[in-house]
Structure formats: structure tokens, C-alpha cells
Amino acid sequence: MPWFYQEAPFISRAEIEAMCQRTLDEARTRLGCDFRRVLLLPPDLTRAHSGSGWITETIYNLLPATCDIHVIPTLGQHIPHTEAENKWMFGSIPHERIHPHDWKGGITNVGTIPGDLVSETTGGIADWDIPVELNTMTVTEPWDLIINIGHVVPHEVLGFANHNKNYFIGLGGKQTICASHMAAGVYGCENNLGQLITPLRACYNWAEDQYLSHLPDLYFQVVMSRDAENRLVHTGVYVGDDLETYLMAARASREQNITVFDRPVKKIVAVMQADEFRATWVANKAVYRTRMAMADGGELLVIAPGVERFGEQPEVDALIRKYGYRTRNEILELYKQNQDMQDVGHGTAHLIHGTSDGRFTIRYAPGKLTRAEIESVGYEYADVNEVLRHYDPAKMTEGWNTMPDGEEVFFISTPSAGLWSTREKLAGRRPAPL
């Protein structure tokens, strides 16, 4: 069970800051630590809307001045923050105390998730070993306390984000991330979204018990929802060191963050904030989170004024440009035949997640990619300035809108904060493993 938690229609910043202090008090008692050396593991800037940045800053400033405190944003394969981005997200925390995760050179192998377990959890769809490569600083240096901070919200790979995702993806090495994402990709994005325990989550739970049980760690997790004025607000805080702490948060997110439709939606307009999303790699959360709601022949319009590239790394950007967002079956067939796709498995999985499988149109309005670039990867293009004039986010209402020309669209201002699906799609999925 969690050490403690709070659930309410609205939890204020002051209340969360008080829970930060309580977390340290409980850790001192339960773990017997005196806070000589502490590691904080928040998400990266694509989760900034969750308040994880100021929560991390609050905990940092509550620790004793004599404490040696370090912060590692759980970037996974994302581009490291600049100094300005760290200041924007983490406020007063000194830049030299915030360390970029090096997913290729800064990792240590601590074990393996055996292929037999991967096969058991996926029903034989995936059957390969998953090497467990984790951030060297995290797993080899001495810590009195490690606090994982993050937002529990529906996720295309693990059902819900956060908890031990911070370790195995956020602080994972290339082999771990590639093998994991391909296992989740072949199992199916729609079979993962909003499931409490996905096959990969079951594998990570096993690996956490096997390889990380010695770490003096805990989880500080938040859940968010929209209030009566359509503002994202905190509705849950869950603090503890066990699986049930995650499950309670995930159940709350499942209740609050999944919008269910009786019929598929013909047109969705989704906005990906420019200060958080600069590549289709992350902006495609708009695709992942809405695909189960989209009608065949419908259109998803992604307004992404910050998008300037496809992949987060050059090799992934090149992979996306070479192969494009094809159907799942096409990508899997190409994967068998092409070494470059096998070498960048997480990029290949992203291609699977980012397709409409030919069911509906994905139309992108990017800030800096050209029409030719967008159309070359299989998407349709829209001019971002024209789109912003017609679908002005400041004037749109969260949910259904009737435009001046009579067009009816469903507007989503923060796709990364939820999941949208028809009732039929949710009911027709593979059962999740125990």
C-alpha cells in the first residue's frame, strides 16, 4: 500500500508542497536515511504540464543544505535539456546539479529479462531477451534516497506512464529501449493503452524485483484531470515504494483520463504545445492517444507549432524519413528485411505507433517542417498559421465545437494528458496479463 495518498477534485500547490515535506519525513523514518546523498528522478520537459518540475524543485529545496543532491531527468532517448530548459522546468535548481541521461554511453547492464517471460506475457507474440541497461550513476553510486517523481497518465507502451518506467525507459540504455519498444509495438499500441498491467509492465515489475530491490527508492506520483473550467488540475498524489502505489494512481487515471465515445469521431483537432514538443517523435502522442476514437475515413489534425524534426536523434530522424509512417504490417515486414530498422528498434516501434494503419488521415501543421517533408513520411500537410487562425486554441472549447462554417470537430488541448476511445475499441482488446 502507499505510504500515504490524497484524492480530491482539486489539490492545491500548497497541499502538494506539504506532501513533499511529508514524503521526506516518512522516508527518514521508514528508510532510516539521514539525507547525505539524494537522487531525484523527474520526467523530461514533455511532462512539464504535470507540475513535476516545480515538485522536484520543492523537494530539492526542502532537503538540508548539507545534502549532496543530484537530479537526472528521465529522458530515455530524448534530447537532453539545455540550461535554459532546465531553468524553465526546474526553477532554482542549479544547472550543474542536473545531469543528462546518456542512453548509449552512460549505462550499466544489471541483468536480463528472459525471452521466456517476454513470450509468456505477450502470448508468444514477442519472445526475445530484453537486456536491462540502466543509468550508471543511478545504479552504481551510493544513495541514501532516490525519489521518482512523475505523472501517471495513459501510455502507449506501458498502459500508464511513470512508476518503474522512469528506470527502464527513462533511464534505460539503447538495447533495453529498443527491445522493449519492439515488444510493445508488435503486441499492439491499442492493446497497451490504458491497461493497468501491460506485458512490458509485467516484465519491468519482475526486473524491478530482481535487480533494483536494493535501491532506497520511492515514488511520488500525481494524477491530473480537468475541472469545471477545463483547466488541468491535480486530483491525486500517491507516495510509496510498492506496486500498489502505482496501481492506485493508475486506477484513478483510468477513471479520470479516458474519454469514451459511443461512436467514432470524424474529426479531432489536437494541439501539441511548442515549448514541450519539437519532433513528431513526441508530438505523435496526439496520434497514440486518439487513434482508438477515430472513425474510418476521418481526420486527425495535429497543430504542432514547435515541431522542427521527426526523430529525437539523427539516426531515428533518418529512419522516419527513409521509411515513413506505414501500416503496422508493412513496418513489421520491412523490419524483418532491413538491418537499419533492426539496429534502431525503438524507432521502428515508433513507426508502428505513429500510423493510422490506413484507417484515417493524419494531417500535421508543424512549425518548421515543410509540406514536402511531411508528405514524404505519409502524413498530410497543413499550414500552421492558417490552421491557428481557423482553429484558434484560445477560442476553442475542450471537447465538441461547431465551427463558423458548420464543421463539427472534437478539440483536445493536451493530448498527452489523456486517452480517447470508443467503447467498442476498449472492449475489443487482448486481455492484459496479471
Per residue in 172-184, pLDDT tens?
999 999 999 999 9
Per residue in 216-240, pLDDT tens?
999 999 999 999 888 999 999 999 9
Integer angstrom CA distances of residue 107 from 97, 131, 209, 365, 419: 19, 12, 19, 37, 32
Residue 11 pLDDT: 98
pLDDT at 434 over 60: no
Grid coordinates given for 198 = 501491460
pLDDT at 432 over 70: no
Integer angstrom CA distances of residue 358 from 266, 295, 355: 14, 11, 8
Residue 22 pLDDT: 98
DSSP classification of residue 144: S
Residue 379 pLDDT: 98
Per residue in 234-257, pLDDT tens?
999 999 999 999 999 999 999 999
Higher pLDDT, 297 or 429: 297
Grid coordinates given for 69 = 543532491
Q: How far apart are alpha carbons 93 and 81 in whole angstroms?
A: 14
Whether the Cβ atoms of residue 247 and residue 43 lie closer than 8 Å to each other: no
Letter string b/e over residues 375-403, b meaning 16 or more CB atoms within 10 A of that residue's CB: eebbbebbebeebbeebeeeebeeeeeee
Residue 48 pLDDT: 84
Residue 19 pLDDT: 98
- Give the dihedral of Cα atoms 211, 25, 252, 280; nearest 10 deg: -60
What percentage of the chain exceeds 90 in pLDDT? 91
Over residues 269-274, mean pLDDT: 96
Q: How far apart are alpha carbons 307 and 13 in whole angstroms?
A: 31
Q: How far apart are alpha carbons 342 and 218 in whole angstroms?
A: 35
Integer angstrom CA distances of residue 51 from 59, 112, 179, 229, 253: 13, 34, 31, 19, 16
| Full set of structural domains in the chain with CATH | 4-257 (3.40.50.11440), 260-417 (3.90.226.30)
Residue 319 pLDDT: 96
Per residue in 196-207, pLDDT tens?
999 999 999 999
Over residues 145-155, mean pLDDT: 97
Q: How far apart are alpha carbons 369 and 83 in whole angstroms?
A: 25
Sequence-ordered list of residues with C-beta below 8 angstroms from that of 207, at least 6 positions apart, any chain: 111, 113, 132, 164, 168
> Phi, psi (5° rounding) for residue 426?
-65, -35
Environment class of residue 258 by beta-carbon count within 10 Å: exposed (0-12), middle (13-18) or buried (19+)? middle
Per residue in 309-343, pLDDT tens?
999 889 999 999 999 999 999 999 999 999 999 99
Q: List helix spans (H) across 112-173.
A: 115-122, 136-140, 165-168
| Mean pLDDT over each residue of the chain, to the nearest integer | 95
Whether the Cβ atoms of residue 267 and residue 407 lie closer than 8 Å to each other: yes
Residue 366's H or E segment, with its range, is strand 361-366
Q: Among candidates 279, 57, 335, 289, which has minimal Cα distance to 155?
A: 289
Largest CA distance in the chain: 65
Q: How far apart are alpha carbons 405 and 407 in whole angstroms?
A: 6
Residue 341 pLDDT: 95
Residue 322 pLDDT: 97
Residue 433 pLDDT: 65
Whether the Cβ atoms of residue 277 and residue 304 lie closer than 8 Å to each other: yes
Per residue in 35-69, pLDDT tens?
999 999 999 988 888 999 999 999 999 999 999 99
Whether the Cβ atoms of residue 420 and residue 292 lie closer than 8 Å to each other: yes
> Does pTM surpass 0.75?
yes
